Structure 1
């Protein structure tokens, strides 16, 4: 299981999937710069919104994660993750002149809003950050923006600011509709393209083969079992002619 963004991207590149293949060197440098900006400016506010803000944590994050974590980890793992998020915020942003938690919170939300403004300015009216094709930066930015945009929080300070940037909201909606939804008929809402027919045929074939194998196993279990036959052991007498006996046994 690979769960960190950088590790996921490295894994995909090793599998010969690279969304940045056609980017110029300048765009590649911009990608690294904006990813660093997201991790430095937006991530602390995201951690605070999900894991430290009391109302959000108690009403959304903890029940959400606890429902997906097996017992008994569900009893304490969410609290451990909340404490780790707070410690990370204080260790990275709680330096002078920011001494109190209230001052740290004010600063991280200010930085996050500036980061969202920069992303909105960079995106402009384009469907993606570098034109008409999604790249690593689009995937990385979507991973930050979509949860913030879609989750229903009691405290919505950062979410309200995001919803005032319509191009970032449109960016999230477009990606969700193009890549993450299928309706009941198996058609993609983006262009109503049918699901790959070859994949459906292959799935049906695999299911038929599995059913056939199961029936064969059942028949074998129900068939009468006979003990294996004993092999006849030939003993040669010390006085017998071994060569004549072997000749009689040969075809």
Structure 2
């Protein structure tokens, strides 16, 4: 029997199974390939700062990063790309590289660097999913990481600041969305009638931009003009995620207080004792209640009535 697979990731909101792009990629691919994966959100735990997500756990194996996780699933015979030709496989790699180079910087900037979006959407969301005192640390940690990554990949010189590369970031992102829209055309998926790893990556990158309630986003405005890409996201959500729309539970403590736990056990023990006493009383002959004769049915009354 194959070992159960568990996927650790950020939870969902905005009508998405996860607000985290990389987590969305893996969840979508698992759905496409038929892999039975138990999704375990790290929300409201101390892992919100220490964990690297998404992370797939299977037996003694722990795999991180979407590309590595998808490769691991393929080795377990969960392959959504088995019908692709060599040319289509090469195109998949090229488009994924395009997403990483052109769209990811704009995605990071939109959620973590844009001051209005960060203050009104991103920071409150991640802070509310992190326990005290991590709710003060987690958003700023991710924001600093995002800014460093943008400057590392888009800053042509070490002296360039974020404002000097911002225009280039969004110009490249809009060009990338246009290319994806042109390549998708009127089809539901990028290759044939079934979704593949490329569809998972596009969904993971595009869906958060499309679905988030962003106060400020020229990229979202541009995306919503590309009807086939927004329909692409809606179709995947309807076909593969309609039965598990995110409905996050209220924040709870990760561990129960020891005294409260002992008190709960004591109450449960006493409740069980009372139930046993009641059962004994009911089974005793002298305590059996008198039950009246059942009322005759309408059919029997009619049969006894003379014609």
TM-score, normalising length: structure 1: 0.70
More displaced 10-residue stretch of structure 1: 76-85 or 7-16: 7-16
Of structures 1 and 2, the one with the larger relative CO (CA 8 A, separation 6+) is 2
Q: Do residues 33 (structure 1) and 94 (structure 2) align?
A: yes
C-alpha distance in 2 between matches for 1:98 and 1:27:
40
Q: What is the aligned counterpart of 1:138 among 169, 182, 199?
A: 199
Q: Is the 8 A contact 1:42 1:111 kept in 2?
A: yes
Residues 223, 230 of structure 2: 8 Å contact kept: yes
Name the counterpart of 1:11. 72
Structure 1: gaps (5+ residues): 185-217, 223-251
Matches of 2:66 and 2:221, distance apart in 1: 26
Change (3 A) 1:35 1:57: same
Partner of 1:94: 155
Structure 2-normalised TM-score?
0.58
Looking at secondary structure, tell me which structure has more helix per residue: 1
Cα offsets for 1:42-77 (capped at 9, x unmatched): 000000000000110111111111121222211111
Are 1:110 and 2:171 an aligned pair?
yes
The answer as to whether partners of 2:151 and 2:161 remain within 8 angstroms in 1 is: no
Larger radius of gyration: 1
Q: Does the 8 A contact of 1:50 with 1:61 survive in 2? A: yes
> Could you tell me whether the CA contact under 8 Å between 2:80 and 2:197 is conserved in 1?
yes
1:181 and 2:242 matched? yes
Q: Tell me, which stretches of 5 or more residues in structure 2 are unaligned?
A: 1-7, 9-52, 55-64, 246-271, 277-307
Q: 54-63 vs 98-107, which deviates more?
A: 98-107
Count of aligned pairs: 189
User: Which of 51, 59, 64 pairs up with 2:120?
Assistant: 59
Is contact 2:81–2:197 with CA below 8 Å preserved after alignment?
A: yes
Cα pair 1:20 1:135 within 8 Å, conserved: yes
Mean Cα deviation higher: 93-102 or 121-130: 93-102
SS of 1:31's equivalent in the other structure is helix
Larger fraction in strand: 2
Distance 1:161 1:5 in 2: 27
CA RMSD of aligned residues (A): 2.4
Partner of 2:215: 154
